[in-house]
């Protein structure tokens, strides 16, 4: 027998496919216009920008107290029911780590957000993938996979990368069908892009039941992706669990200050929502007009559109063609979507240019 020569990673860690972020540079290293990560094309609230510059030599407030209080007030929550994360990514990982381990099962839907798979595997749990229904969530198919070993269910609403949206009645039906000891994580990273009256009931479920965690982020409509600030709300027991295992100083001072200021600028959020709604509708209409060439935009409630290429022009060729024209979007072969490009809704001129380029490529493809 020979002794091992190096530390050996756990087998379940070695089975993880690392998250592959989108590219942001062209072939020759020139910068591209990046519409591959669902960032806010309007940038960041000016109020948030002017709140930068907190004392960098000091540790941040470990409880993000002022920010948590502001979030709680805004959403009518008890601050004790709000937990902060280094982006909502951290909270998704902590939810899996807190409630699942080797031998347990974590369910998410096919074409769900790719972090769920990593979150499940890194704590040694077994990911279980529910079949989709036309690229969206099929509640009955998901519930049919629940076993005595199921510990966590992840749903993004709206979902990334498909943009699909599950109405409140379906979310309630999903929750009602789950055993009380299964944690339902409702990931609302894109919730602010919906009209305020289109409430999927997630917050109310988290307020009323001990097994629901809702996660939100400052990365998308608030335009603070670079600062890594997410938050979650759920029963005090869930919040206490996540607080026990999160990094003690997991949100930077600058991030806390900027997020607080961003919350105080609802006009920026509203302008971002309106821009997204209008540009998304315009873009979807122009892509739907290319259906004779096999292009199919999936209905989206988020700040991106998944375009399927089912004709002569392939998603890969379109991806390369857009990159040649200076646009980087997201091609998703690693997520089982080699036929799809996820395109973030950007500025008007850029959406016009992309739609025109796709038309040209589709019409000349052979």
Binding residues with ligand PMP: total (CB under 6 A): 12
Q: Which of 97, 137, 160, 272 binds ligand PMP (CB under 6 A)?
A: 160
Interaction mask 312-341, ligand PMP, x per CB under 6 A: ------------------------------
Is 189 one of the binding residues for ligand PMP (CB under 6 A)?
yes
CB of 321 to ligand PMP, least distance (A): 25
Segment interacting with ligand PMP (CB under 6 A) among 85-93, 102-110, 164-172, 306-314: 85-93
Interaction mask 117-156, ligand PMP, x per CB under 6 A: ---------------------------------------x
CB of 118 to ligand PMP, least distance (A): 12
Q: Which of 217, 254, 314, 335 binds ligand PMP (CB under 6 A)?
A: 217
Is 89 one of the binding residues for ligand PMP (CB under 6 A)?
yes
Q: Which two tokens stand for residue 41?
A: 């094309």
Q: Which of 145, 207, 225, 357 binds ligand PMP (CB under 6 A)?
A: 225
CB of 219 to ligand PMP, least distance (A): 3
Residue pair 143/177 in contact (Cβ under 8 Å)? The answer is yes
CB of 116 to ligand PMP, least distance (A): 9
Q: Which of 60, 223, 230, 321 binds ligand PMP (CB under 6 A)?
A: 230
Q: Which of 99, 113, 309, 319 binds ligand PMP (CB under 6 A)?
A: 113
Q: CA–CA separation, 95 vs 182, rounded Å?
A: 11
Nearer to ligand PMP, 230 or 321 (CB): 230
Query: Among all residues, whose Cβ is closest to ligand PMP?
Result: 87
Strand-by-strand arrangement of the 295-297 sheet = 295-297, 304-309, 337-344, 330-332
Segment interacting with ligand PMP (CB under 6 A) among 81-89, 237-245, 307-315, 350-358: 81-89
CB of 160 to ligand PMP, least distance (A): 3
Is 185 one of the binding residues for ligand PMP (CB under 6 A)?
no
Q: CA–CA separation, 32 vs 166, rounded Å?
A: 33
Residue pair 126/106 in contact (Cβ under 8 Å)? The answer is yes
Residues engaged in binding ligand PMP (CB under 6 A): 87-89, 113, 156, 160, 187, 189, 217, 219, 225, 230
């Amino acid at each position: 027998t020979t002794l091992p020569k190096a530390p050996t990673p756990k087998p379940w860690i070695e089975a993880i496919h690392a998250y592959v972020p989108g590219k942001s540079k062209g072939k020759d290293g020139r910068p591209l216009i990046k519409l591959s990560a669902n960032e806010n094309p309007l940038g960041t609230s000016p109020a948030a920008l002017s709140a930068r510059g907190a004392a960098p030599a000091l540790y941040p407030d470990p409880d993000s107290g002022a920010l948590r209080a502001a979030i709680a007030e805004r959403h009518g929550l008890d601050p004790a029911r709000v937990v902060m994360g280094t982006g909502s990514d951290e909270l998704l990982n902590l939810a899996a780590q807190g409630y699942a381990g080797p031998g347990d099962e974590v369910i998410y839907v096919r074409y769900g957000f790719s972090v769920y798979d990593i979150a499940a595997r890194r704590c040694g749990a077994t990911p279980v993938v529910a079949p989709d229904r036309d690229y969206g969530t099929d509640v009955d198919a998901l519930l049919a996979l629940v076993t005595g070993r199921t510990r966590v269910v992840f749903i993004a609403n709206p979902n990334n990368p498909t943009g699909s949206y599950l109405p409140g009645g379906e979310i309630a039906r999903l929750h009602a069908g789950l055993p009380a000891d299964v944690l339902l994580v409702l990931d609302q990273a894109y919730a602010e892009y919906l009209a305020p009256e289109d409430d999927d009931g997630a917050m109310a479920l988290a307020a009323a039941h001990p097994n629901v965690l809702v996660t939100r982020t400052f990365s998308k409509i608030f335009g603070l992706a670079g600062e890594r600030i997410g938050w979650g709300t759920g029963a005090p027991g869930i919040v206490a669990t996540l607080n026990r295992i999160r990094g003690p100083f997991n949100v930077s001072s600058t991030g806390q200050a900027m997020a607080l200021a961003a919350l105080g600028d609802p006009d920026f959020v509203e302008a971002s929502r309106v821009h997204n709604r209008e540009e998304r509708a315009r873009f979807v209409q122009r892509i739907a007009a290319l259906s004779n060439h096999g292009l199919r935009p999936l209905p989206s409630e988020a700040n991106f559109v998944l375009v399927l290429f089912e004709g002569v022009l392939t998603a890969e060729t379109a991806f390369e063609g857009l990159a040649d024209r200076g646009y980087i979007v997201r091609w998703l072969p690693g997520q089982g979507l080699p036929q799809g490009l996820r395109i973030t809704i950007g500025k008007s001129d850029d959406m016009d240019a992309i739609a025109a380029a796709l038309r040209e490529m589709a019409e000349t493809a052979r």
